[in-house]
């Protein structure tokens, strides 16, 4: 018997900035990514998202693909700059009109909309107060969340306020590799805190306008020690605090973990009392009806002394020996995926989970027959579905799985080279080609989550090759 419940949400995911294009259409304002892509060298090969997949115009074609491959849900984001062109204040009805049409058509097709409010594309106007470093960003986000839920709340059953707060904090404000391109360690932890605080306050403000469930999507990375030494075990636990517990604990418990707060205060030179103010942690805690989990890989950690470019006493070293990898070198570890789902359920019991992103970069392109035979993505997807089946068997309250991504798209600072999609996109013409992996995924959905026989487990998948 399959482990997946009959109402399991099988779907795929995208984000507005990565697929929509049309930055000047229908009153959209400027976003921080519009500005960032203009920086020389910021984007690999100098690309931008002015066209991307042209999904602002071709959204019905994208929904046709979702229907063709039998998806039950579609996770997508609203572009904050389309709805609040100035970041706050004036609401642009034409932006809301677009998303209303999209949501109505999804519901007509019996595809559940899973709506993300902030997938990294903050309006540029809010940078006048430092973006997420400025505490006023919290109020601005609440205004936006209210505008969206007031218009759309009666038709959306699943809301994600924030996507990957750690990536916003790390790449946007600590390392400067993503928009807005800031390198400021204390500013980074401040920005990350404001993202979480904005979730809590927005969730409260949205309740009168929607009966939908409200949550956050976190990118979680199991942190494992490189050796059996106590030093590496301590490094792995510290890294877990940095990427996982610093966000899980305030959302699903009662506040930030003490050990990681001590690390942050040492690294930034002082207490965080001016950042994490009285009442903030109470305003974050208990506002998540579910947790979205974005999973791609794990972190293999070793102890290392802090230094000018290493604020914390650990470093990522990677696995030794033979490990299957994506075209980007990311380690493929479905067993770690299973263990992560079980761990989150164990540590934060009673919280429903949705896998809101999971996918891999494989650069397969059309062959002589015009089709895309991406056998490695098929293998990847099946192994991770098998891992979820094991987690469900262990009692994890898993409600859905959104593969990243529906379409090849603009992959942020990496431009258009990495291809994550179930659907191949020719970026010169906009043509879509459904890949073999998408058709295999459709069979998995149709069969209720069965992959290569009912007895397949994540640990067995590697021996199955391309699943003939």
Q: What is the pLDDT of residues 236-270, one digit of tens each?
A: 999 999 999 999 999 999 999 999 999 999 999 99
Which residue among 20, 124, 281, 357 is the active-site one? Answer: 357
Q: Which is nearest to 259 in space by CA: 187, 312, 309, 306?
A: 312
Range of the domain at 393: 9-464
The pLDDT of 105-111, averaged and rounded, is 98
What DSSP character marks residue 277? -
The whole-angstrom separation of Cα 394 and Cα 345 is 10
Closest residue by Cα to residue 199 from 267, 277, 138: 138
pTM for the whole structure: 0.96
Active site residue 61: no
Q: Which member of 164, 281, 390, 411 is catalytic?
A: 164
Q: What is the CATH number of the domain that holds 287?
A: 3.20.20.80
Q: End-to-end distance of the chain based on CA atoms, in angstroms?
A: 23
Which helix (H) or strand (E) covers residue 380, if one does?
A: helix 375-393
Measured CA to CA, the distance from residue 196 to residue 280 in angstroms comes to: 9
| DSSP 8-class letter at 112 | E
Please compute, for residue 461, the number of CA atoms within 13 A of its CA located in the half-sphere on the CB side.
27
pLDDT at 321: 82
Collapsing DSSP to helix, strand or coil, 123 comes out as strand
The total number of structural domains that make up the chain: 1
- In a domain? residue 1: no
Q: Would you say residue 2 lies in a domain?
A: no
Whole-angstrom distance, CA of residue 292 vs CA of residue 240: 18
- Does residue 3 belong to any structural domain of this protein? no
Average per-residue pLDDT for the chain = 95
Q: State the SS3 of 36-49.
A: HCCCCCCCHHHCCC
Peptide bond into 405 cis (omega under 30): yes
Tens of pLDDT, residues 19-39: 999 999 999 999 999 999 999
Long-range contacts of 419-424 (CB under 8 A, 24+ apart): 419/361, 419/362, 419/363, 419/364, 420/359, 420/360, 420/361, 422/12, 422/69, 422/377, 423/65, 424/364, 424/365, 424/366, 424/372
Which helix (H) or strand (E) segment is 168 a member of? none
């Amino acid at each position: 018997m399959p482990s997946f419940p009959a109402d399991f949400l099988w779907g795929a995911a995208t984000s507005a900035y990565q697929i929509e294009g049309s930055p000047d259409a229908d009153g959209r304002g400027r976003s921080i990514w519009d500005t960032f892509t203009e920086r020389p060298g910021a984007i690999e090969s100098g690309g931008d998202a002015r066209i991307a997949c042209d999904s602002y115009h071709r959204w019905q074609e994208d929904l046709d693909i979702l229907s063709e491959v039998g998806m039950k849900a579609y996770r997508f984001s609203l572009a904050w700059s389309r709805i609040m062109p100035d970041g706050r204040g004036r609401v642009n009805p034409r932006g809301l009109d677009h998303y209303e049409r999209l949501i109505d058509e999804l519901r007509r097709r019996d595809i559940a909309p899973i709506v993300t409010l902030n997938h990294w594309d903050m309006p540029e106007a809010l940078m006048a107060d430092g973006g997420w470093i400025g505490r006023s960003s919290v109020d601005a986000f609440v205004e936006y969340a209210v505008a969206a839920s007031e218009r759309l709340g009666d038709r959306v059953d699943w809301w994600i306020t924030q996507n990957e707060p750690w990536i916003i904090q790390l790449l946007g404000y600590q390392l400067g590799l993503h928009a807005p391109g800031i390198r400021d360690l204390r500013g980074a932890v401040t920005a990350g805190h404001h993202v979480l605080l904005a979730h809590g306050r927005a969730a409260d403000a949205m309740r009168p306008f929607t009966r939908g469930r409200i949550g956050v999507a976190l990118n979680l990375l199991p942190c494992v020690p490189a050796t059996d030494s106590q030093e590496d075990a301590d490094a792995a636990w510290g890294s877990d605090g940095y990427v996982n517990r610093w966000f899980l604990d305030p959302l699903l418990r009662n506040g930030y973990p003490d050990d990681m707060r001590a690390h942050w205060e040492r690294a930034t030179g002082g207490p965080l009392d001016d950042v994490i103010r009285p009442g903030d942690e109470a305003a974050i805690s208990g506002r998540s009806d579910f947790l979205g989990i974005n999973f791609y890989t794990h972190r293999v950690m070793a102890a290392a002394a802090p230094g000018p470019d290493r604020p914390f006493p650990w470093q990522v070293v990677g696995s030794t020996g033979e490990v299957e990898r994506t075209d980007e070198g990311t380690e493929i570890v479905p067993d770690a995926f299973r263990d992560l789902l079980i761990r989150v359920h164990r540590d934060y019991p009673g919280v429903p989970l949705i896998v809101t992103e999971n996918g891999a970069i494989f650069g397969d392109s059309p062959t002589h027959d015009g089709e895309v035979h991406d056998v490695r993505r098929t293998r990847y997807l099946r192994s991770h579905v098998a891992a979820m089946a094991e987690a469900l068997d262990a009692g994890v309250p898993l409600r859905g799985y959104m593969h990243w991504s529906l379409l090849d798209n603009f992959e942020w600072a990496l431009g258009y080279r990495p291809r994550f999609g179930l659907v191949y996109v020719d970026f010169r013409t906009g043509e879509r080609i459904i890949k073999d992996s998408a058709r295999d995924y459709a069979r998995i959905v149709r069969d209720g989550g069965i992959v290569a026989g009912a007895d397949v487990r994540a640990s067995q998948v590697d021996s199955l090759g391309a699943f003939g």
